[in-house]
Amino acid sequence: MITLHGFAASNYYNLVKHVLIYKELPFEENLLYGGSAELLAISPAGKVPVITTDEGLHISESSVICDFIEETYPAMPLYPDNAGERAVVRQIMKIAELYFELPSRRFIPYVFSGAEIPESVKVEVRQVLNRGVKALSRLCRFSPWIVGEQLTMADIYVYHVNTIVSTFGSSQLEWDILAAVPGMKAWNDAMSQSVISQKVEADRLANKTEFMQKVKAQFEAANTKKNSL
């Protein structure tokens, strides 16, 4: 049975969990946070999620895990048969990661520490997000799924990317970023209604308080260290 390591407040963890549930694969969850020695032993970059396979192989990086799951468990496919169409799905996932997820994440340390976000950072993040908005507007169809009639890995991936875009990007820039991509907002709302999304969201909420305590402890430890230098 696959073991999924990480914590439910992580959107990267949740997208892999969503894929596992969608494919009806049995898996167990192992609660691990960033910075732990146990995580570093199985994740080269010390990031979650990580999965441990039946053979005892540890795999990190969410998009790599998604590909591994698809290749190993091809039933209930999440990629199209056609190689060109598969490339479009992966292109959307990559663009969402580079131009939606990562710029929005730039705000996280400021939000968690309560520090003011410098205007220069906001300008830079807005520029990158704008690129993402334009690229995704050109690529996504939302009819009804991102690439058309088949629900694909891109639907699951972008849906969980969007939690970070809304929570950090939109709120800090006072810009409804999802609404800037034609069709995305309605599709995102539909995705959020699925039984799987609701289960993943319930688990995320259940983990939120403990996760925030960990974050607070990390910031306090960093401040103590800074003050003692």
Backbone angles phi, psi at 27, to 5 degrees: -155, 160
The residue ranges that bind ligand GSH (CB under 6 A) are: 10, 12, 34-35, 46-49, 61-63
Cβ 128 to ligand GSH, closest distance in Å?
16
Cβ 48 to ligand GSH, closest distance in Å?
4
DSSP assignment of 61-113: SHHHHHHHHHHH--SS-SS-SSHHHHHHHHHHHHHHIIIIIHHHHTTHHHHHH
Cβ 13 to ligand GSH, closest distance in Å?
7
> Is 21 or 190 the residue whose CB approaches ligand GSH more closely?
21
Are 97 and 165 in contact by the 8 Å Cβ rule? The answer is: no
Give the E-state strand segments of the chain in sequence order: 2-6, 27-31, 50-52, 58-60
Are 93 and 63 in contact by the 8 Å Cβ rule? The answer is: yes
Q: Which residue is nearest to ligand GSH (CB)?
A: 34
> Is 97 or 183 the residue whose CB approaches ligand GSH more closely?
97
> Is 34 or 183 the residue whose CB approaches ligand GSH more closely?
34
Cβ 119 to ligand GSH, closest distance in Å?
26
Helix, strand or coil for residue 14?
A: helix
> Is 72 or 143 the residue whose CB approaches ligand GSH more closely?
72
Nearest to 12 by CA among 55, 58, 64, 88: 64
Are 184 and 170 in contact by the 8 Å Cβ rule? The answer is: no
Cβ 34 to ligand GSH, closest distance in Å?
2
> Is 142 or 204 the residue whose CB approaches ligand GSH more closely?
204
